[in-house]
Structure formats: structure tokens, C-alpha cells
Amino acid sequence: MKEEIEETVAASRALAAAGLSDMVWGHASLRDSDGCGVWMKAAGWGFEEIDADRVVLVDRGGNVAHGQGKRHIEYPIHTEIMELRPDVGCVVHTHAPALAAFASLDAPLRAISHDATPFTDPQLPRFTDTGALIATQELGQALARTLGDANGCLMPQHGAVTVGPDAATAVMYAVLLERACRTQLMAAAAGGPHVWSSPEETEFKRNQVWNPAQRDAGWHYLRRVAEGITP
């Protein structure tokens, strides 16, 4: 089995294990090592249902180059980010309610927990061109430009994207961003937040708490949990 297919399955199952499923919507992609497009879960399946037969290769024009399933309408999220960011090997798009709820506040994300440190100082960008589906190459390109060199982007009225050089990084960033938004929503409901990490502490914690070894530890945990999910 092609390595990218295995990693697409693993990323999908890990996102399910983390509670980021949205029935059959949301998707993760892996860059094809031969430059033929991106490997994604096929449309119509939930993260927890993905196996090798439910992964498709989609080229930049939206054609399914390998696999029997249908591609997601929002494939340009993945192909256009990959086109603009040669450093990105995996893209994750989720619709976790905490992401949309937090983005609707139009407030900066604060480093009130470890989880937020990859996305503050500088602030992660917000894509405001549309809250509808990213169904065209032009919108995909606009999203990719907004993302810039960040590792995540909030999409108000929609969800978020996260990226990384590999599935472990992009998936963990999706998990951390959802947790960071949910934590700040809890603090806001209690009348805060009133304290958060300084830019200096945030930078320090990015390397101390979320270095590659720590991200990988979280990734492997999610993969172990995913093994107990019935396809």
C-alpha cells in the first residue's frame, strides 16, 4: 500500500479519536510524493470509517486520479495550500463547533493554556472572504494566501485548517487549536480570561511543550486510541 494512503487513513482515524468528526464532513490530505495531487478520504464517509479503499488521489483540477470514491467539494483547500506551501505535507480541515464559536467572537486567541501557544504571538490568521464552502480554485488560493506561513487558520462561520510537514503535526495542530478555542470559550463564559502567557513565555512553551517529540507522543496516543474504533 502506498505510504500516503496509510497516512491518510491514520490521520483520519486519529482525528476521529480526538473527537473532531463531523459526521461525513471534514477531511485530511497528504501530498502525493510523485507530485500527482493530494490523497484524501473519499466523500460520504466519516473519519472513523476510513480505510485504504476509502482514500482517493485528487489532482489540482479536481479529477480523481486513483480510487473508486468521490472527492470532497472542498478539495481546493488542500491542493491550493499544497501548491503555495512546498513545506506542507499534510492539511487538515475540520468543523469542530468550538472553532466556529470562538471565531464568531472576533477576539484574539490568548495563550491561557499550553494548547494555544502554537497559534499566538503572532496571532493565527482568519479567512474572512467567505463563510461558505471553499469549492473553487480561486477561493482555495485566497485561503492559502491568508494562511501564509502560519500553521493554522480560523475560518469564521465555517471551521479551521491546520497544516504541517506530516500527518502527525497537522493532526496535532488541529487537536490543539480546537482545545485552545474551547478553553478560551470556557474562560469567556466565566468572565475572563484575565491572565495568559507573555510573548516570551509563549515562545518558550512552543519549544518546551510542543516540540516534535511531544507532538509525536500525542499523535501516537491518538493512533492507539483509534485502533479501538470499529471501521
pLDDT profile of the chain (231 residues), mean per 10: 91 97 97 97 97 98 96 98 98 97 96 98 97 98 98 98 98 98 98 97 97 97 84 45
Q: Is residue 101 in some structural domain?
A: yes
Q: Which residues pair with 64 in a beta bridge?
A: 58
Among residues 5, 22, 10, the alpha carbon closest in space to that of 99 is found at 22
Q: Is residue 89 in some structural domain?
A: yes
Domain that holds residue 18: 3-226
Q: Is residue 175 in some structural domain?
A: yes
What's the CATH code of the domain at 58?
A: 3.40.225.10
Q: Is residue 115 in some structural domain?
A: yes
Predicted local confidence at residue 230, as pLDDT: 47
Q: Is residue 187 in some structural domain?
A: yes
Q: Is residue 125 in some structural domain?
A: yes
Predicted local confidence at residue 227, as pLDDT: 87
Among residues 147, 143, 87, the alpha carbon closest in space to that of 122 is found at 147
Beta-carbon contacts of 220 under 8 Å, excluding residues fewer than 6 positions away, are none
Predicted local confidence at residue 229, as pLDDT: 55
CA geometry: angle at 141 spanning 52 and 149, to 5°? 85
Q: Is residue 231 in some structural domain?
A: no
Beta-carbon contacts of 197 under 8 Å, excluding residues fewer than 6 positions away, are 111, 112, 117, 120, 205
Ramachandran angles phi, psi of 219, nearest 5° = -60, -45
Beta-carbon contacts of 203 under 8 Å, excluding residues fewer than 6 positions away, are 121
Predicted local confidence at residue 228, as pLDDT: 80
Q: How many domains does the chain have?
A: 1
Three cell numbers at 182? 474551547
